[in-house]
Structure 1
């Protein structure tokens, strides 16, 4: 008896039935809140109008407390993070801007920083401080996006509006601890033109210095990315003379003093690097002296400062890393003997000579490998006419630096006795 074999594979109809998915009808899938926001239409004018409705309900006179309360109330329904740019435009400028920096229309807030005839900047800054404490997510877009962008448009506004914005920016940086990186926007050509950036920065300086000292201002400028404040001067007057004249006229002598100090520091770095390079390239003493005198003529600096910088450059070029302890002294003495003529060319006057001795003292104190060589180095410099007996005696009696002072005074006593005896014989 035969049986017909049956297949275990499913038929076509069975496969279709298995693959068919059930369909839910009448069920709504709830969209995530973040997805709904992302998909919603971006309507800056609607946001502005809604914000202005809140601000026009402010009681008069407007105070920081009432303004903060109204903004917090608005923040409960309006998307401050999504419309941060429009929020700041209303608070700073009173209305919305279109691309290019011009106002979009005539709608204005009843209170904003650059409002003509009013002085509402300090109130808005204090308001911003308290609002950002509540909505911390607003600080980053303020300092990284809005402020750098808005400073590129200051040429569009009146001198009064620019001054108010500069004063408010100084308060924002001081009181809100906002990054000063936005100041680097002032070097753009269209902002530098017609003294716009210079006048803005001058107003900024005056307000900042009314709150903080010049050292804090200097630290702020270093963090700002504004490499040199001279860059805000129009190119035809971008020099130290015009800079000094401008800030003297504006009663900002502290800026001139700070800038001179900064410029001196830059000259020092350049000189030390140049001297080290010339030594490594084995230039002669005559070539080095000629280069340094040219540099001094282009950027005037006293011999007292220059001779100290030359010393630092010479020592930077000396590599003692592979030397044994008993070799370091002789290597330093030989190095100084070789380049003493370079130092001698700029050791003009008692102050320059004492500065050089102190530079040697600090170097020997810092690098203990050569601390014993100090008296020998002085002898080399004395024999090369870099320093005089009077300079050495003055240094020993009252001119030494505090670093290792007692040690260095003690080890130079034999030299001092010799010089004093010599001086007595000459008398």
Structure 2
């Protein structure tokens, strides 16, 4: 096998290294000094700041020092753990051309000028977008160490950055940290973001954005453990004029409470807990979480119907359903005490029988079972029969119920005739 012979090298020869192969020393403080020097010359001229940042990106390495760049534009210098500005290097260590040097009484017009600075910068250097989003999460972890006035300025800016898409709404979840929650800082900061957003873009825009980001499911985690209550949270939002956002939380809270009730009920039924005892427990949970009777009776229906393994044969499933439901009529009676609850249950039966093909012919037998056991009254059945609350399968179910409805109406006529003769 031939071996590669090394080429001879002249004694004393220097091997030249290409400039692009030389590793540049990491020097964030040198970058800081250069940026601050340029920003200070712009004073408070936002157009001048944007022009300077646009041109400086051709000479300074924004890709490498992007984190430092955003620290400087927000806080005036490079932030270090503890939320203070680094004093390393020759300096200057801080600039007045930054968001934290804006008016202490938050002026949204001034904040919008800063918003444009960031928009233009990231439009020119697209790679800065991801760096910016990551840096915001880090900065949010420092809010405890910022002055209250600076926290408000940052909250105002976040309302603008999130609403224009520069920062994902989910970024605020980094505030869900024990040392920020216990001092109310996380909740106060979140409320400030919402307040500024509502002022600038309106309540509908805020509600839509919160709902789209599914933030409402995390709201309760921002409440300190010492005051972990629905009442405390409700008061905090109402006092700050955020009723629209509060409604989203309450809807989420209700959904979670209903799910918890269904799980509790399913476990109790699987353990064959006495129904009288179970009724008392359900009523206590419903009262505590403000779950209405018509909602509770529908949860009972869903849970009870999830228990058996239903026959796939239409001719067998009806008898199976009637036998099964007959065992729980006392439970249904306890929560179908008003016409709204009765009608909700009847519509739930209609929906279930329509959605499960094998139950299509079971509807009439189930309704009759509930009628005979005083779960659903004849007034409610008549109301359902005459009005179109849910059109799905209605004509088929009306045909099933017609003989009974005719009997009911004839019975009413006979009763009226007897009363007149008396």
* TM-score, with structure 1 as normaliser: 0.85
Cα RMSD of the aligned pairs, angstroms, is 2.8
Tell me, yes or no, if structure 1 residue 372 matches structure 2 residue 361. yes
Question: Alpha-carbon deviation of 1:97?
Answer: 1.3
Tell me, yes or no, if structure 1 residue 111 matches structure 2 residue 101. no
From 317, 327, 352, the counterpart of 1:328: 317
**Which residue matches 1:122?**
112
Secondary structure of the residue aligned to 1:136 is: coil
Answer with 193-202 or 22-31: which moved more. 22-31
From 249, 255, 273, the counterpart of 1:259: 249
Task: Work out the CA distance in 1 between the residues paired with 2:207 and 2:399.
Answer: 38
Q: Is the 8 A contact 2:36 2:95 kept in 1?
A: yes
Larger Rg: 1
Task: Work out the CA distance in 2 between the residues paired with 1:237 and 1:291.
Answer: 25
1:329-357 C-alpha deviation (Å, 9 max, x unpaired): 33322222222221211112111111111
1:83–1:349 Cα change, 3 Å: same
Q: Is the 8 A contact 1:271 1:313 kept in 2?
A: no
Question: Alpha-carbon deviation of 1:205?
Answer: 1.2
Task: Work out the CA distance in 2 between the residues paired with 1:360 and 1:413.
Answer: 17
1:123–1:404 Cα change, 3 Å: farther
Tell me, yes or no, if structure 1 residue 299 matches structure 2 residue 297. no
Answer with 268-277 or 148-157: which moved more. 268-277
Task: Work out the CA distance in 1 between the residues paired with 2:73 and 2:394.
Answer: 60
Question: Alpha-carbon deviation of 1:221?
Answer: 4.6
Question: Alpha-carbon deviation of 1:426?
Answer: 4.0
Tell me, yes or no, if structure 1 residue 89 matches structure 2 residue 71. yes
Q: How many residues align?
A: 403
**Which residue matches 1:30?**
18
Tell me, yes or no, if structure 1 residue 101 matches structure 2 residue 90. no
1:73–1:408 Cα change, 3 Å: farther
**Which residue matches 2:209?**
217
* TM-score, with structure 2 as normaliser: 0.86
Structure 1 residues 21-420: aligned runs within 5 Å: 21-23=7-9, 25-30=13-18, 33=20, 36=22, 39-58=23-42, 61-63=45-47, 66-105=48-87, 107-117=93-103, 119=107, 120-143=110-133, 145-176=134-165, 178-209=167-198, 210-211=200-201, 212-222=204-214, 227-320=217-310, 323-398=312-387, 400-420=389-409
Question: Alpha-carbon deviation of 1:19?
Answer: 5.8
1:161–1:422 Cα change, 3 Å: farther
1:180–1:422 Cα change, 3 Å: same
**Which residue matches 2:419?**
none
Task: Work out the CA distance in 1 between the residues paired with 2:257 and 2:388.
Answer: 25
Secondary structure of the residue aligned to 1:213 is: helix
1:420–1:232 Cα change, 3 Å: same
Question: Alpha-carbon deviation of 1:417?
Answer: 2.3
Secondary structure of the residue aligned to 1:82 is: helix
1:309-328 C-alpha deviation (Å, 9 max, x unpaired): 111222233333x6223323
Secondary structure of the residue aligned to 2:328 is: helix
Q: Is the 8 A contact 1:214 1:258 kept in 2?
A: no
1:327–1:68 Cα change, 3 Å: farther
1:79–1:379 Cα change, 3 Å: same
Unaligned runs of 5+ in 2: 417-422
1:131-159 C-alpha deviation (Å, 9 max, x unpaired): 2233222222332x312221111111222
Task: Work out the CA distance in 2 between the residues paired with 1:102 and 1:332.
Answer: 69
Answer with 104-113 or 337-346: which moved more. 104-113
1:318–1:183 Cα change, 3 Å: farther
1:62–1:126 Cα change, 3 Å: closer
Task: Work out the CA distance in 2 between the residues paired with 1:409 and 1:132.
Answer: 63
Secondary structure of the residue aligned to 2:254 is: helix
Secondary structure of the residue aligned to 1:117 is: coil
